[in-house]
C-alpha cells in the first residue's frame, strides 16, 4: 500500500477537505498513474452529497483523470513509464459476460467497477481522481494523444465519451440534422463533436444566453426552448436529438421534433421518471433511447478523433482549495464549461 494525498468528502453535508488515502500495491497488470489534472463532473457532486443513494465516507470522487505513468506491473504491455494516459468512469468489469465479450464494458451485466464509490475486485471502495496518484489495471487506462492539451484532455474522459458514443452509434455525420439539448459540460462537447463529424447542429437551450458561444463552438442554429414558437418551427426536422439535461423535460415536445426514424437519446439522468405519450412515438416511427458513457475502445477512438480534429473542451483551471466553490458554481450552471483541478495543488 502507498499513502497518497487527496481531497475527500467527509460526509454528505460537509465540504471536501484535504486528506490522505491508500492506493494498492501494483498487481501484475496494474499501472500507477501520477495524476496531473482531474475534471469536475456533476456526477461527483451528486455522489458525495448522497443524491444517488448512501455511500461510504470519506469518499474521493473524480472520473475525468489524466496523468503520467509512474510505474507498471511486471506483466503490463499496453503502457510504459512516462506515457500520457487517462482514466474515465470505470476501472474494471467482469470481462466474461456477453456485453464485456462484445467489447462493451460500460454495459457489463455484472455492473462495471466505477472509478469511485464502487466496490472494487478486492472488496475496497474505489477512490477517484481528486488525488495525486491512482492504481488502475492497464486495460482500463487510455492513451492521451500529444495533440490534446493535457489539462483540457481530462473532461473528455466522461463528458467527451458520453456524448461521442451516442453521436457515433446513431450515425451523426454529413446530411444528418442533430439537435443538442442543453449547453453545459456535456452539451458543449456534443456540439463540438457533432460538428466535427459533419452533421448540421442545432442547440436547444432554455434561453439564448449562450448563443454566441454555441455558434462559435460549431452549432449552425441556436434556439430558445422557453419560446413555444421554437417547437412549432422545428417540428419533424431532426434525425437525432441528444438530451444532456438532467432535469425533467416535456419529452413529448422534444419527440415531436424528430423526423422519420429519428431518435431522441438521453444522456442526462433526471431523478424522476419521464412520462411518454406513446402516440408521439407512432408518428414518424420515432425512438426514445438512453446511452451510458462508452466502451474503452470507443473512449480511445474518441480521444484519437479529438486529437485529429483539434477538439478540446472549454475549461476553467482551478486549485484544489477552490473545489467547494466550484461545486456551488456547477450547481448554478455558472461554468463555461468544465472545471479542471490542477492536481499539483493537492500535493
Ligand atoms: Zn462524469
Ligand atoms: Zn461483464
* Tens-digit pLDDT profile for residues 279-291: 999 999 999 999 9
CA of 189, nearest ligand number: 1
CA of 90, nearest ligand number: 1
101 Cα–ligand 2 center, Å: 7
The per-residue pLDDT for 52 is 87
92 Cα–ligand 2 center, Å: 9
139 Cα–ligand 2 center, Å: 14
From the list 77, 103, 153, the residue with the least C-alpha distance to 313 is: 153
107 Cα–ligand 2 center, Å: 7
Burial class (CB in 10 A: 0-12, 13-18, 19+), 252: middle
41 Cα–ligand 1 center, Å: 5
From the list 254, 64, 38, 265, the residue with the least C-alpha distance to 165 is: 265
44 Cα–ligand 1 center, Å: 7
**Is the model's pLDDT at 192 over the cut of 90?**
yes
106 Cα–ligand 2 center, Å: 8
Domains of the chain, first to last = 2-158+294-345 (3.90.180.10), 160-290 (3.40.50.720)
Tell me the β-bridge partners of 202.
Answer: 179, 221
Q: Are 92 and 100 spatial neighbours (Cβ–Cβ below 8 Å)?
A: no
The per-residue pLDDT for 256 is 98
H/E run at residue 67: strand 65-72
For residue 157, give the 3-state DSSP assignment: helix
25 Cα–ligand 1 center, Å: 27
84 Cα–ligand 2 center, Å: 27
* Interatomic CA distance for residues 81 and 70, integer angstroms: 5
156 Cα–ligand 1 center, Å: 10
**Is the model's pLDDT at 347 over the cut of 80?**
no
99 Cα–ligand 2 center, Å: 6
278 Cα–ligand 1 center, Å: 31
The arithmetic mean of pLDDT across residues 32-52, rounded, is 96
The arithmetic mean of pLDDT across residues 218-242, rounded, is 97
For the stretch 298-333, pLDDT in tens is: 999 999 999 999 999 999 999 999 999 999 999 998
For the stretch 98-112, pLDDT in tens is: 999 999 999 999 999
6 Cα–ligand 2 center, Å: 30
The per-residue pLDDT for 209 is 96
20 Cα–ligand 2 center, Å: 32
Q: Which three cell numbers stand for residue 24?
A: 494498492
Q: Which three cell numbers stand for residue 304?
A: 484519437
pTM above 0.75, yes or no: yes
234 Cα–ligand 1 center, Å: 30
The arithmetic mean of pLDDT across residues 152-173, rounded, is 98
340 Cα–ligand 1 center, Å: 12
The per-residue pLDDT for 269 is 85
Contacts of 129 (CB under 8 A, 6+ apart): 35, 38, 60, 61, 62, 63, 64, 65, 87, 115, 116, 343
76 Cα–ligand 2 center, Å: 21
111 Cα–ligand 2 center, Å: 7
Amino acid at each position: 500500500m502507498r499513502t497518497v494525498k487527496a481531497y475527500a468528502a467527509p460526509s454528505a453535508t460537509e465540504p471536501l477537505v484535504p486528506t490522505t488515502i491508500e492506493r494498492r500495491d501494483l498487481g501484475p497488470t496494474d499501472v500507477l498513474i501520477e495524476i496531473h489534472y482531474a475534471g469536475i463532473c456533476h456526477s461527483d457532486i451528486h455522489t458525495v452529497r448522497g443524491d444517488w443513494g448512501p455511500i461510504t465516507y470519506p469518499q474521493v470522487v473524480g472520473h475525468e483523470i489524466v496523468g503520467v505513468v509512474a510505474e507498471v506491473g511486471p506483466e503490463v504491455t499496453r503502457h510504459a513509464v512516462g506515457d500520457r494516459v487517462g482514466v474515465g468512469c470505470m476501472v474494471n468489469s467482469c470481462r466474461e459476460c456477453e456485453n464485456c465479450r462484445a467489447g462493451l464494458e460500460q454495459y457489463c451485466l455484472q455492473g462495471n467497477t466505477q472509478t469511485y464509490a464502487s466496490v472494487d475486485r478486492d472488496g475496497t471502495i474505489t477512490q477517484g481522481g481528486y488525488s495525486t496518484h491512482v492504481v488502475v489495471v492497464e486495460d482500463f487506462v487510455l492513451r492521451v494523444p500529444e495533440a490534446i492539451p493535457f489539462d483540457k484532455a481530462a473532461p473528455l474522459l466522461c463528458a467527451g465519451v458520453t456524448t461521442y458514443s451516442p453521436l457515433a452509434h446513431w450515425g451523426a455525420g454529413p446530411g444528418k440534422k442533430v439537435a443538442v439539448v442543453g449547453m453545459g459540460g456535456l452539451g458543449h462537447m456534443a456540439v463540438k463533436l457533432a460538428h466535427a463529424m459533419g452533421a448540421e447542429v442545432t442547440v436547444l437551450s432554455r434561453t439564448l444566453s449562450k448563443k454566441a458561444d454555441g455558434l462559435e463552438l460549431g452549432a449552425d442554429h441556436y434556439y430558445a426552448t422557453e419560446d413555444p414558437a421554437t417547437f412549432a418551427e422545428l417540428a419533424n426536422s431532426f434525425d437525432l436529438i441528444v438530451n444532456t439535461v438532467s432535469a425533467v423535460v416535456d419529452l413529448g415536445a422534444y419527440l415531436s421534433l424528430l423526423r422519420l426514424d429519428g431518435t431522441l437519446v438521453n444522456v442526462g439522468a433526471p431523478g424522476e421518471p419521464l412520462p411518454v405519450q406513446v402516440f408521439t412515438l407512432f408518428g414518424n416511427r420515432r425512438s426514445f433511447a438512453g446511452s451510458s458513457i462508452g466502451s474503452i475502445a470507443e473512449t480511445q477512438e474518441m480521444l484519437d478523433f479529438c486529437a485529429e480534429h483539434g477538439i478540446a473542451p472549454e475549461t476553467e483551471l482551478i486549485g484544489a482549495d477552490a473545489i467547494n466553490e466550484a461545486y456551488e458554481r456547477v450547481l448554478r450552471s455558472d461554468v463555461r464549461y468544465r472545471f479542471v483541478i490542477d492536481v499539483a495543488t493537492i500535493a
